[in-house]
Amino acid sequence: MLKAMEEINVKLGVKTILSRIEEACNRRKPELQGVSPQLVAVSKTKPVSMIIEAYEAGQRHFGENYVGELVEKASNAEILEKCKEIRWHFIGNLQTNKVNKVLSIPNLYLIETVDDEKLASKINSGWSKYCGEKNKLKVMIQVNTSGEDAKNGTNPDNVVTLSKFVIEKCENLCFDGLMTIGQFGYDLSQGPNPDFLLLSKCKDDVCTNLGLEWKSVGLSMGMSDDFEHAIELGSTNVRVGSSIFGHRVKKV
């Protein structure tokens, strides 16, 4: 087990994914050019040493989906010392009673998984105490594009309403875009991934209804198996774990 982890070359992994991202960008239609997608290295279940290795390869954005694990890694002394510009993305299911824990970590950059008004309000009020010294907190709205009961995320029909709520009622938050996980194992030979198409349509709706500039709204979609396809469909934020850090032992 340990040996298997040591064999993973994290630095090479980051470089390889970055060049695949660049190639996918070049394949986008002209109207989707103009934003370069950000790579979020999803480090869940992986050790601090691997995060530092990726950081040393130039990677700055990291994603975690468990509150306890995020708190532990973000406050780790070695990370604080060696990864001063790290930017943490929270990408998991966030219960309201854990919001303050997430907000208290050093270098929190973006919460990608806001899916109702109650959670948005809780994050907004919690962030008020940091707002003097830090900027508004970036948040994304998670959309349940596949309609599966087991998935978190707001209904696509509710995206405009919830985005409007975040923009108009949450003065400490900065609306950064939309996020989806989508169904697993979609077969691309069936055509473009319907989850990505739907998320992109939600973005168009938000922009039209709320008068936002198209380029100002991000789309977080695409993981190890489909990030290139997601970029071709307009993703601005890909969340890649196992292709950088190796397979996870725990299924999460």
Ligand X SMILES: *Cc1c(COP(=O)(O)O)cnc(C)c1O
Interface residue list for ligand X (CB under 6 A):
42, 44, 65, 91, 181, 223-224, 239-243
Rounded to a whole number of angstroms, the minimum distance from the CB of residue 181 to ligand X is: 5
The smaller minimum CB distance to ligand X, of residues 92 and 172, is found at 92
Rounded to a whole number of angstroms, the minimum distance from the CB of residue 246 to ligand X is: 9
Secondary structure (DSSP) of 88-136 = EEE-S---GGGHHHHHTSTTEEEEEEE-SHHHHHHHHHHHTTTTTTS-P
The smaller minimum CB distance to ligand X, of residues 61 and 172, is found at 61
The smaller minimum CB distance to ligand X, of residues 91 and 173, is found at 91
Distance (Å, rounded) from C-alpha 14 to C-alpha 153? 29
Q: Closest residue (Cβ) to ligand X?
A: 241
Rounded to a whole number of angstroms, the minimum distance from the CB of residue 88 to ligand X is: 14
Provide the 3-class DSSP secondary structure of residue 26: helix
Q: What are the beta bridge partners of residue 88?
A: 62, 108
Rounded to a whole number of angstroms, the minimum distance from the CB of residue 79 to ligand X is: 19
The smaller minimum CB distance to ligand X, of residues 99 and 181, is found at 181
C-alpha to C-alpha distances, 83 to 78, 100, 106, 158, 218, nearest whole angstrom: 8, 23, 11, 38, 25
